[in-house]
Amino acid sequence: MDPICGTVGLVAGVASIISVIGKSIVTLNNLRQKYKEAEWNIKLLTGHLQLIRTALCRVQNWAECLSNESCHYQLIMDLDQSVEHCRILIEHINDQISRLEWDDGLLKFGSKALFLFEDKATSELLTLLDRQMSALTLCLVASQFPTPKAQQQFLGREETQLAFDRIRDDTSSLIGFRDSSSFLTARNRNSIASQFSRVFDFDGVLLKHKTYQNTFRSMLRRTASPTERQPCPEPKTRSLSDTPVVQLQSMARTTAKIDSELKEDGRRLNKEIKILAIGDKHGRSAVIKQMRSQYGDPYTEAEVEQYRQKITSLTIKALVAIMDYVEDSGNGLVTPLSRQHGQVVRDFAASAAPNWVVEYGIASSIKYIWANWHIQQAYSIMEKHGETAYCLDFIERICRPGYVPSRLDIIRAPEPIETLKETELRMAPSSRLKVIEFQEQQAMKVLPQFAGVQCCLFTIDLTCYDRYLNNAASTNALSDRISRLKHILLSPHFSETLTMLVFTNRTAFAQHIIKSPLKSHFPDYEGGNNVDAAAKYILKRCRRANHKDRALVWHTLLEDTNDVESTANFFRQSTLCRQVFMTYS
């Protein structure tokens, strides 16, 4: 994780929490002046909020001055989680204070205000604030260590992890009272749409109990019958004999219908398996789209059109980038005709959005430019991996008027995801797979919210072994992927989760290791240019990251329409392995 990128959201989040704390302190001071009886309790709560605000200000100052070399990524993750838990607690306190109603500078129902701040309630809030202060203090102490390794050792201590576990438990308790905070996405401060709510393992057991069933039936009856929601002016005692027969029959039918729906929902949830999909963007989406093409809902015309626009846009922009490279290298498009066609392509790239409809004149210019010798030479020396290389290999077909993406085109197409995306797979009548795609940077920050998910799909592009991240340490991309896999395998939230490891781009990998030997980047590799030996070596390094011997299965994806059944068998066997693992663990 890049510390600089990680702290951008951290600084903004801290600033918003400080603002909420300031509003709460002002309200508490006004309340203390109006009600002297509650002065001592309010003073204690105000003092704790001021301490939290001071700690957050120090966190903000530290994050703004952070450099790449001075921080371990684990510190950023722990600090980000601590700030998020702090935000939920502070907003909970602020909500409690904001519920007080004022009338001409005085509180309505002053006795209710005193009840709100009685000793027991205040004591609970002070305890939560103390634990939150301890977690922030530990993060600030860790930030003072001179090396990232020393920071990691301090954060890995048992007492440090215990403090973080306490605030996670406190936040989970608050979620029950304030459910909007259980939704954590990139937009959760502005919207509560399309968000993932926390579900506990024991929910299914509780909801089957007769008491909860009766409560649900009562609530649903009130929802279905508007007359039951009307307030009665006076409570009247009624016996069963006073109720009309028609109304009793209607209530019986409603109760039977609700019972049937509850049982059907229970059967559906028992058959549903959730899979959290994270990993490199292209490999993750390719696996899921390959499975959807066979076992999911068919793509609608609108979805196919969106993919056509994305594929055409990516192809044209890649061609323009190659033209820029050729001109910068001094060769350029020499003849007047080639320059004329090149200008047509550039004008189209600048004005075609958002529809990207290719006409015949544009198609002929693209074909002419792609056949240019300098363009072909420049493309031959470029790295060919991912969706860009695939689109350029089929540029004449893609940039043809009336082009409709094939199934393989859709599988290889770019798949930008703003927050999360759910895909449902029906591989058997008796079970359903719900695959939840999540941006990796966001997923690594909110892993606790996915605790208890049955499976985790993690993808690794085999061709990334000779690429390096753009950070101060120039970290190898494959080593970074394995490090993230290790973080998932060691996470206490995934102790009962089956990790499904999928390797992608094997065909390109077989050609790539001939030009760029694996040994040049991993000196302990001794397998030469043998693709099987190289793949086994990478798998060995991944398995070595599984220190706690968690449930781990693996598969190599062939991005071919004929390989769908092989991937489907991997999904089926993975769900069976997960059941066996849960039986004997």
As a dihedral over the C-alpha atoms of residue 157, residue 163, residue 166, residue 171, rounded to 10 degrees, the angle is: -110
Identity of the amino acid at 352: A
Helix count (H) and strand count (E) of the chain? Answer: 23, 8
**Six-digit token string for 66:** 């952070």
**Six-digit token string for 201:** 């393992």
**Six-digit token string for 216:** 């649900």
For residue 502, give the 3-state DSSP assignment.
strand
Identity of the amino acid at 454: Q
As a dihedral over the C-alpha atoms of residue 160, residue 165, residue 167, residue 172, rounded to 10 degrees, the angle is: 170
Angle between helices 148-155 and 73-98 (to 10 degrees): 50
Sign, CA dihedral 267-271-276-282, equals: negative
Give the distance, in angstroms, between the CA of residue 395 and the centroid of all CA atoms in the same chain. 33
CA distance 249 to 260: 17
For residue 422, give the 3-state DSSP assignment.
strand
Q: Tally the C-alpha atoms within 13 A of residue 523's C-alpha that lie toward its C-beta.
A: 0
Cβ 480 vs Cβ 469: under 8 Å? yes
Tokens 């030479």 sit on residue: 377
Tokens 């969706």 sit on residue: 387
Alpha helices of 178-209 — where are they, by DSSP H? 203-207
Cβ 436 vs Cβ 275: under 8 Å? yes
Residues 6+ apart with CB under 8 A from 198: 172, 175, 182, 449
Bridge partners, 420 (sequence order): 438
Cβ 420 vs Cβ 438: under 8 Å? yes
DSSP 8-state symbol, 209: S
Phi/psi at 407 (nearest 5 deg)? -65, -40
For residue 426, give the 3-state DSSP assignment.
strand
Peptide bond into 401 cis (omega under 30): no
Residues 6+ apart with CB under 8 A from 483: 545
Tokens 């937009």 sit on residue: 187
**Six-digit token string for 106:** 């005085």
Among residues 201, 284, 254, 205, which one has the least CA distance to residue 457?
Answer: 284
Residues 6+ apart with CB under 8 A from 526: 519
| H or E element at residue 153 | helix 148-155
Binding site annotation covers 285?
yes
Sign, CA dihedral 169-175-181-184, equals: positive
Annotated binding-site residues read 285
Residues annotated within a binding site for Mg(2+): 285
